[in-house]
Amino acid sequence: MTMKASTRQVNGVTVVDMSGRITLGEGSVILRDTIRDLLGKGQKKILLNLGDVTYIDSSGIGELVSAFTSVRNQGGELKLLNLTKKVHDLLQITKLYTVFDIKDDETAAVGSFK
Amino acid sequence: MRNRVSYTLDSTLDSVNKAESTAAQFAARAGFNADEQDNIAMAVREAAVNAVLHGNAHDPAKKVFLVCERTVDTLIITVTDQGKGLDPSCVPDPLSPENLMKGSGRGIFLIRAFMDEVRFRNTHPGTEITLIKHVGGKPANAKEETT
């Protein structure tokens, strides 16, 4: 299953609904391009909805970290929403779970942006 | 499915997907549960990524060799490249504070996390990585070896 990403605006926050696999190649590129496009348009409050992401490999994890860093370096915030158990476990063992701001409720997540 | 299969693969992303799916099938037939199957498939995927990207550097003249073997209670998967060789002791720890926010460098860590035994061998030129998973868990004498 290839990765798809679509964006929508909710109270000034860009929610990116992602589905499929974030892996080396197309998946990672789509994520990178999506974040780059949003930052280029000045949209710096980004909520990545990973609820339908079935798989992330080390390249995908790296891409999430790079996205987080890119947004933060431009004064924005990037948060994660609706992690599956697999993604949750991967972020735990890579010690990234505490790095990201991770939410499980979209309304609360949108309201948490500064 | 036979108890041993071997493939010679091109240095492409398609080969990475082939290695992953082959490992998943083997793991399922070997009796591992769904989570273990996923973890084994991911470990093999990471090994194949290393072989294609870092070992063979996408060189179309170089191949990746995948061998999957199943015994009564063990799954053994070997991924070999024809690159310049890898010293696993030189791979930075992705969990250390200075590396935590890096965009790469987690592949071997994940392989070690998901498999019971991981062995590296320099094949001059190239690197062979052997991934071992025991049905029912890790034996007391399991360890990582480099030769």
CA B34 to chain centroid, in Å, comes to: 18
pLDDT at residue A32 above 60? yes
The full length of chain A comes to 114
More confidently predicted of B142 and A95: A95
Q: How many domains does chain A have?
A: 1
pLDDT at B81: 98
Averaged over A5-17, what is the pLDDT?
97
d(CA A107, CA B127): 49
Are the Cβ atoms of A58 and B107 closer than 8 angstroms? Answer: yes
- Interface membership of B91 toward A (CB under 8 Å): no
Give the per-residue pLDDT at B144: 56
A113 inside domain: no
The conformation of residue A106, written as its DSSP 8-state character, comes to H
Q: Is residue A27 part of a domain?
A: yes
- Contact pairs from chain A to chain B, CB under 8 Å: 50
Residue B72: which pLDDT band, with cuts at 50, 70 and 90?
A: confident
Give per-residue pLDDT as tens, B84-125: 998 888 999 999 999 999 999 999 999 999 999 999 999 999
**Averaged over B28-37, what is the pLDDT?**
92
Contact B10/B64 with Cβ under 8 angstroms?
yes
pLDDT in the model for residue B56: 97
What is the SS3 assignment for chain B?
A: CCCEEEEEEECCHHHHHHHHHHHHHHHHHCCCCHHHHHHHHHHHHHHHHHHHHHHCCCCCCCEEEEEEEECCCEEEEEEECCCCCCCHHHCCCCCCCCCCCCCCCCHHHHHHHHCCEEEEEECCCCEEEEEEEECCCCCCCCCCEEC
Answer yes or no: is A112 within a domain: no
List domains and CATH numbers for chain B: 4-146 (3.30.565.10)
Please report the pLDDT score of residue A2 as a whole number: 77
Q: Is residue A23 in a domain?
A: yes
Q: What is the pLDDT of residue B2?
A: 65
Residue A24 has pLDDT above 80, yes or no: yes
Residue A80 lies in a domain: yes
pLDDT at residue B1 greater than cutoff 60:
no
Question: Is residue A44 a part of any domain in this protein?
Answer: yes
* Residue B146: predicted pLDDT: 61
Whether residue A31 lies inside any domain: the answer is yes
Q: What is the ipTM of this complex?
A: 0.90
B3 Cα to chain A: minimum distance (Å): 27
Instruction: Determine the pLDDT at residue B141.
Output: 58
Percent of chain B with pLDDT over 70: 92
Query: For an interface test with B, which of A22, A24, A36, A65 has the most B Cβ atoms less than 10 Å from its Cβ?
Result: A24
Q: Is residue A29 assigned to a domain?
A: yes
Would you say residue A101 has pLDDT above 90?
yes
Domain of residue A88, CATH code: 3.30.750.24
B67: tokens are 């061998």
User: A26 pLDDT exceeds 90?
Assistant: no
Please give the model's pTM, rounded to 2 decimal places.
0.91
pLDDT (0 to 100) of residue A25: 87
Closest CA in chain B for residue A26: B13
Choose, out of B42, B44, B115, the residue to mutate when testing the contact with A (most A CBs < 10 Å): B42
- Boundaries of domain holding A38: 4-107
Segment A50-93, tens digit of pLDDT: 999 999 999 999 999 999 999 999 999 999 999 999 999 999 99
Q: Which of B38, B42, B103 sits opposite A63 (nearest CB)?
A: B103
